[in-house]
Amino acid sequence: MEKLTRKTKAALMLVLLIASIVNLTLVTSVNAQSAVDPFTVGLWHLDEVIPNGYQETTPDATGVNNGILGVKTADMLVEGKFDNALSFNGENFVYVPISFLVGFPPSPQPIYIPISPNLNIQEEIKLEAWINLQEFTNATYNNIVVKCSRSDPSWENVSRVVGLAVRSGVSDDGISVPQGVLSGFVLTDTGSANEIVTTEPVISLNQWTHVAFSRSSTGMHLYVDGYEKEVKVIRGVQNPAGNIVNGTEFYFGHDSKVILDEVRISNLVPDSQALAAQIDIGPNMLTAIIVVAVVLALAWVLRRAIQMWIIHSRS
């Protein structure tokens, strides 16, 4: 039998990747573990790790955006602030897909399949979590929650879009801030990168602290244990113009040695369309989108297989 061509292999890889996403979506829990307010688009209690084929997931209480555990997941589940939590060692992470970037067929522009568009908040967003920082890593940003965007399937070409992190004291682009200050940052479609940090260190090791970052009509703000902290701008402005750039995925705990609990992402101005997306974009709509994509991909593969069989039979 003839060997598969590169295009056929690429198509098969696409089918397998999409099937993986379908599998992840269909096991999404619809039983929310607690009441979720209309502003919340994602709430991860991080109380459990669920095997899912070759992956492990942690549920989203909204029933929409389950997280996928990254590398070295053994022993991540530990005692938390409330019940269990997840422990990160600087290498592992939780990954929440927003859009699936298709690398086939070749295209001058990236092709994205929407997975969780309700996580692409355009205007006013809030990120929050309970953290217990174990130690500082050498990464400039010890990430708590960060949304990233990629323009090709490789893991290298990733840009930070919006996020909440603890600064390690390592300078970045010639900008130095003390170890232990809290950082919040936003990239808007005006092309500007904007970052604020607390004016003094606010994170101590080995103790539970609630941290939050918001971008609203009044600008960017940081909170520790429910109280707003004084901040200074180290990039851009505190109240940037424009919409938040769309991303392809969220990460929790990336580059951090931290225990995380109760991670929440909120849309502070959910209009009727946003609420409709939050309700309807879940398993039903997503399954329909993925099924169409799978059918088209399978049709292409079958057509190529038939063509190859005809050519082979005539030779």
What is the tens place of the pLDDT at every residue in 80-90? 999 999 999 99
Split at pLDDT 50, 70, 90, the class of 297 is low
Split at pLDDT 50, 70, 90, the class of 27 is very low
User: Looking at per-residue confidence, does 100 or 269 come out higher?
Assistant: 269
Split at pLDDT 50, 70, 90, the class of 128 is very high
Q: Give CA separation, 224 vs 36, 52, 144, 185, in Å.
A: 22, 35, 13, 16
Predicted local confidence at residue 172, as pLDDT: 83
User: Looking at per-residue confidence, does 87 or 104 come out higher?
Assistant: 87
Report yes or no: 257 and 88 within 8 Å, Cβ to Cβ.
yes
Split at pLDDT 50, 70, 90, the class of 300 is low
User: Looking at per-residue confidence, does 174 or 233 come out higher?
Assistant: 233
Split at pLDDT 50, 70, 90, the class of 151 is confident
Mean pLDDT of the chain: 80
Reading the block at residue 76, the tokens are 């991540």
Residues ≥6 apart with Cβ < 8 Å to 313: none
Predicted local confidence at residue 112, as pLDDT: 74
Predicted local confidence at residue 294, as pLDDT: 54
Predicted local confidence at residue 191, as pLDDT: 83
Range from 188-192, 198-202, 264-268 carrying the lowest mean pLDDT: 188-192
Coil/strand/helix, residue 23 = helix
> Is residue 284 pLDDT above 50, yes or no?
no
Classify burial at 6, counting beta carbons within 10 Å of its beta carbon; exposed 0-12, middle 13-18, buried 19 or more. exposed
How far is residue 246's CA from residue 297's CA, in Å, rounded to a whole number?
Answer: 26
How far is residue 237's CA from residue 3's CA, in Å, rounded to a whole number?
Answer: 56
Predicted local confidence at residue 9, as pLDDT: 45
Predicted local confidence at residue 72, as pLDDT: 80
Average pLDDT over residues 202-215: 98
Chain position carrying tokens 């060692």: 89
**What is the percentage of the chain residues whose pLDDT exceeds 90?**
57
Range from 30-34, 251-255, 259-263, 303-307 carrying the lowest mean pLDDT: 30-34
Predicted local confidence at residue 275, as pLDDT: 47
> Is residue 121 pLDDT above 70, yes or no?
yes
Report yes or no: 199 and 232 within 8 Å, Cβ to Cβ.
yes
How far is residue 128's CA from residue 83's CA, in Å, rounded to a whole number?
Answer: 18
Chain position carrying tokens 């941290």: 211
Split at pLDDT 50, 70, 90, the class of 208 is very high
